[in-house]
Amino acid sequence: MAVYDRAKFERLQYGVPTDEWLAAARPIIDLHPYGDTALLYASDPAVRGKATETTLAYRPDVLEQAMLPFFDRTIPFDDKRRATLGRVAARFVDDTAGELARFLRYTTADEESFDYWQSRLRQVSPNCPMIQLTAIARSLKPRPGDEDEIARQAEQFASVAAKVGRRHLDRKEFDEADALLERAAKLSHDGQTYQVWAEVHAQKGDDRRWLEVLEAALEEPDFGLQHASIRCAIARKLLHAGKAEQALPYAGQAARTYSGEGIDLLAQCQEALRKWDRAEAVLKAGFERYPGTVGWYAFCRRTGKGDARAAETQLRQVLESGQLDRMRATEAGYELARLAGDATAMRRALENAPAVAAHPSTRLLFLLNDQPPPTGAALKEQLDGVIAAATAGDGPGVGGPRPELVALAKALADVGLEPAGRLDAAPLRALAAKLDSRKRCSLQYLLGLVLEREGRDDEAVAEWTECLKLADITYSMRTLAGAKLVARGVSADDFPPLEPMTGE
């Protein structure tokens, strides 16, 4: 596990070669039946490819409990496969608190089976906090006496206090959440718990107290990138509030740790302050540290500043080398295709990301970039799919029903996609004015594409200009809007000022 975790951290977090570490650890890897999964993070793409094949082929007849978290991290389970491995593991569970707690945490089971394993854990270790944690996580109805036991354990165990505090926060029970999360943070000294505690005050609208909690977290010991993560949270909130100058020192300190998030936020602060050369220098350094990241190229296209040709060339070289993992390769390929306005390439880039492809705004993006555009039954089928997905609002990243996307799709269904200048944009603009910042930007960008298709260029430019007021500088639709304007000769120096975000 240690070999695997360090190889993953070196490659994905530090962006450095893993060869030396994996060579030193090879005696351990070779002795372990699943040891070659550490090679998923080797520097050599061929070695990584072979490790992927063997990892996906595992069908263990015996699965030690200690390996459950390992499989949870390495193998892209589907629910059926996870259940199968859980049944295999269940045959070898010892009656010890550690094994039973691990089994409850890393396996799926129906409620009846889960109750059986939980009752065994109660018998072996009545005071084990995993009993309460798993019950809360599964939203199980408390048994008689459970609430008293949870309250008692929350006094002693940070994990229980954090879990119950999070439950109160989700229910908007702020006083209860505040007390429990404060206790959890001070017991655990954990940066993530401090951030959840701070969220209580953010949701109450008390930004002063929110900042005080996070500043207190910076007084705790710094494990890993804990302080960098907290400084990023502070910088992002200040930046989205239109306070880039105040965000800059927090982002700068986070970036000095070579945190990828810190690098991105430092560049965003510089971009918000229109310090174009400094923003590009930060993103170029970030690309050198984390090859294949799209920030440098997106910045150049979004602003018209920097060396877009060099950024694109280097991004394509990294992508074609095969050294990126699947998620990062998908991101890079999609960014290149999206900024090129190539719907076919967009769909191809998202073959390994079906959830992103199914998002209603992504479907509209495909549709409005199709050449030639679909008509008749084909157009109706695609728009019906958008309307259904946006109405349900239950896909990953959709965030609930999206009435603005439903409205746009219905308007397109009425007029089609022929360049005849027939869509009535007024109702959509009125709807956009009522939306939170990101949703408004998405609708404005997509509406601009429709207006451009209909030859209403001045109106399209007006919609895209509105997108550029969004303080979430790297938001995908804002980037696309900036690229559209830059292509028409608009200088980033003339972009409108950023406005504080709404709906965060």
In a domain, 426, yes or no: yes
In a domain, 451, yes or no: yes
Give me the domain span that covers residue 488. Answer: 374-504
449-494 residue pLDDT tens = 999 999 999 999 999 999 999 999 999 999 999 999 999 999 999 9
Q: Is-contact 149 164, C-beta < 8 A?
A: no
Does the structure show a pLDDT above 60 at 78? no
Domain count across the chain: 1
499 three-class SS:
strand
Q: Which of 362, 394, 357, 363 is nearest to 379 (CA)?
A: 363
150 three-class SS:
helix
Q: CA 84, CA 63: separation in Å to the nearest integer? A: 11
pTM value? 0.79
168-216 residue pLDDT tens = 898 899 999 999 999 999 999 999 999 999 999 999 999 999 999 999 9
Residue found under tokens 């520097």? 43
pLDDT at residue number 180? 92
Does the structure show a pLDDT above 90 at 1? no
pLDDT at residue number 90? 76
| Average pLDDT of span 156-166 | 86
Tell me phi and psi for residue 160, to 5 degrees. Answer: -70, -45
Q: Which of 56-70, 272-286, 407-421 has the lowest mean pLDDT?
A: 56-70
pLDDT at residue number 337? 96
pLDDT at residue number 278? 98
Residues composing the chain: 504
Does the structure show a pLDDT above 80 at 147? no
Q: Is-contact 278 284, C-beta < 8 A?
A: no
| Average pLDDT of span 287-316 | 95
Q: Which residues pair with 499 in a beta bridge?
A: 470
Cβ count within 10 A of residue 414 = 11
Does the structure show a pLDDT above 80 at 139? no
What are 182's two structure tokens?
């404060």
155 confidence band (pLDDT: 50, 70, 90): confident
Q: Is-contact 154 161, C-beta < 8 A?
A: yes
| Average pLDDT of span 111-140 | 75
164 three-class SS:
helix
In a domain, 378, yes or no: yes
74 confidence band (pLDDT: 50, 70, 90): low
| Average pLDDT of span 257-264 | 91
Q: Which of 19-28, 107-116, 163-172, 292-301 has the lowest mean pLDDT?
A: 107-116
Question: For the chain, first and last CA: distance in Å?
Answer: 37
pLDDT at residue number 417? 82
Does the structure show a pLDDT above 70 at 435? yes
In a domain, 36, yes or no: no
In a domain, 503, yes or no: yes
Tell me phi and psi for residue 306, to 5 degrees. Answer: 80, 180
pLDDT at residue number 368? 95
